Structure 1
Amino acid sequence: MRTIDLSPLYRSFIGSDHLASMIDAAARNEKQNTYPPYNIELLEEDKYRITMAVAGFAKDNVVIEVVENTLIISGSKEQAPDESRKFLHKGISERNFERKFQLGDNVKVLSADLENGLLHVDLERVVPEAKKPRRIEIGSQLFENK
């Protein structure tokens, strides 16, 4: 993965050092935490899907929560060593995990499904009418003077 130099952000965002720090911290955290792998897909203009590879985990082992604007997906399994099994190669990880995704304002989780070792979480950004752009015709009067 390429390293991104974020120092120009610190120079150009006056009073927004917090934003640049969050981006920098997210980039560092992404390098450390790579399990389980996931994709983020744009399905339509305001619809998204997170697909996460959770091989070996059943529905009962995976918990999906939304706390404020953070989507938290965690998986845990009983880690009892099985002495009867002898692996020549063990490439399928069975460790517990927790992934956090920062959701934008007005992003809602629609559904979640676990099929063939892939967890699909569908999201939609719902913009309220008050925040949608409006076209104002020239010569129109928006407010009545009383």
Structure 2
Amino acid sequence: MNRSILFDSPFLLGFEHTRSLIERAAKAAAESYPPYNVEDRGDGGLRITLAVAGFSPDQLSVSVEDRQLTVTGKRDGGARPEEAYLHRGIAARGFARSFVLADGMVVEGASLEHGLLHIDLARPEPEVRIQQIPIRTAG
């Protein structure tokens, strides 16, 4: 992937992690299967819904690593030799779809119903931290 000229500025030091996040998001945006929706549930909560018709729960995996949510679907072998399709419009391929999560976003859970995989996300209110800094005197 080409490096962003914006992040090559000598005035932006220590932003390598931000560059990496942007590159990961751009790669995820290029994926097109399976189709998905992102809903705002209010109070900072989101729901991602993926159309995963034909996948069973044991063929799906949802994981989070380094603020990247990854959903994978693995098919076992596909069509059996005795099946003869006149038209095959339902995709039977595996997939991996990724979403970059903001700081503080947590996955609350995932559920599969009627061929739709729902993944619920929340952004809990950050804990207020007050730090007292001791003042030293010279000498």
Indicate the TM-score class for this superposition, using the shorter chain for normalisation: 0.7 to 0.9
Question: 1:46 corresponds to which residue?
Answer: 44
| Counterpart contact for 2:28–2:99, Cα < 8 Å | no
Question: 1:111 corresponds to which residue?
Answer: 109
Give secondary structure in 2 for the equivalent of 1:27: helix
Matching of residue 37 in structure 1 with residue 42 in structure 2: no
- Cα deviations by residue, 1:64-113 (Å, 9 ceiling, x for unpaired): 11223111111112114412212122111111111111111111111111
TM-score of the aligned structures, taking structure 1 as reference length: 0.72
Q: 1:23 to 1:55 in 2, by over 3 A?
A: same
Matching of residue 75 in structure 1 with residue 73 in structure 2: yes
Shifted more, 99-108 versus 118-127: the winner is 99-108
Question: 2:26 corresponds to which residue?
Answer: 27
Q: 1:29 to 1:101 in 2, by over 3 A?
A: closer
Q: Which amino acid aligns with 1:127?
A: E
Query: Could you list the runs of 4 or more consecutive aligned residues of structure 1 that deviate by over 6 angstroms after TM superposition?
Result: none
Which of 60, 63, 71 pairs up with 1:62? 60
Quote the sequence identity (%). Answer: 37
Task: Using the TM superposition, give the Cα deviation of residue 27 of structure 1 relative to its aligned residue in structure 2, in angstroms.
Answer: 3.2
Mapped to 2, the partners of 1:80 and 1:87 lie a distance apart of: 13
Q: 1:106 to 1:24 in 2, by over 3 A?
A: closer
Aligned alpha-carbon RMSD (Å)? 3.0
Q: Which has the higher contact order (CA 8 A, sep 6+)?
A: 2
TM-score of the aligned structures, taking structure 2 as reference length: 0.75
Q: Matched residue pairs, number?
A: 130
Q: Which amino acid aligns with 1:26?
A: A
Task: Using the TM superposition, give the Cα deviation of residue 21 of structure 1 relative to its aligned residue in structure 2, in angstroms.
Answer: 7.0
Task: Using the TM superposition, give the Cα deviation of residue 118 of structure 1 relative to its aligned residue in structure 2, in angstroms.
Answer: 0.2
Q: Structure 2 unaligned runs (5+)?
A: none
Give secondary structure in 2 for the equivalent of 1:130: coil
